[in-house]
Amino acid sequence: MDYIDTIVNDLDALAVEEIMKFPVVTLDDYNNTLNVALELGKKLNANSDIIKLGARFMEIKLGQAISEKKKNEYVNMSLGFAMNFLTGYPLSEDFKKKVFACIMEQNDKKFSCIEAEICANALCYNFLIPKKILKIYYNKLRGYNFDEIFLFTNEIIDEKWEKLTLDVCRKNLEENYNKIKEFLDLAKKDPINLIQELI
């Protein structure tokens, strides 16, 4: 087994514990972000070992941060977790620096390495795929009223679209984004509005 795969197995075990304890990021989200990042890495000739770790660490403390009402601190919490976790493995400083960049730069639009840009873009896929949006409604938004759900959905879709910096991602997701926005625009209208538009 490759040495990085040994680290990944150890990390996955801890990630599953976090997901079970704080089920904000689902196992599905965790795996989807990773798989998209790895596919993008292949297309862009990036270092897959950095991506394997960076994508896993990005939101590893998001659930805990939200449960402690510290959502704005989840990036720093995830970074601290990663730094502590990787001290047990003999990795080069340059390698670790790039893994840490994947965590720290996930909300940026300028990146210190291609792997960080790939991980940041991969994270956006969880919110720009119709299936994932339905899961957001089902898993996370029950109990909210329609106006709150509508506002949240609009805001997060626009936010994730604006965060895409890779041309391949924008081309891949543009049709989804436009169709989702069109659907949300229709969702604002009641039957009377629709009839009046036809007259």
**Same domain membership, residue 61 and residue 132:** no
**Same domain membership, residue 156 and residue 89:** no
What global pTM score does this model have?
0.85
**Same domain membership, residue 115 and residue 87:** yes
Rounded to whole angstroms, the Cα distance separating 114 from 56 reads: 16
Of 103 and 136, the one with more pLDDT:
103
Last residue of a domain, one of 122, 156, 191: 122
Token pair recorded at residue 18: 């976090």
Per-residue pLDDT reduced to its tens digit, 149-188:
777 788 888 999 999 999 999 999 999 899 888 888 877 7
Last residue of a domain, one of 122, 146, 171: 122
**Same domain membership, residue 159 and residue 76:** no
**Same domain membership, residue 108 and residue 149:** no
Rounded to whole angstroms, the Cα distance separating 37 from 46 reads: 10
Of 123 and 147, the one with more pLDDT:
123
pLDDT band, residue 1 (cuts 50/70/90): very low
**Distances from the Cα of 196 to the Cα of 44, 184, 187, angstroms:** 49, 19, 15
Token pair 């898993």 is found at 139
**pLDDT of amino acid 20:** 85
Share of the chain above pLDDT 90, in %: 42
The total of structural domains in the chain comes to 2
Look up the domain containing 193 and give its range. Answer: 128-199
Share of the chain above pLDDT 70, in %: 88
Rounded to whole angstroms, the Cα distance separating 82 from 57 reads: 6
**Same domain membership, residue 137 and residue 116:** no
CATH code of residue 17:
1.10.3210.10
**pLDDT of amino acid 195:** 56
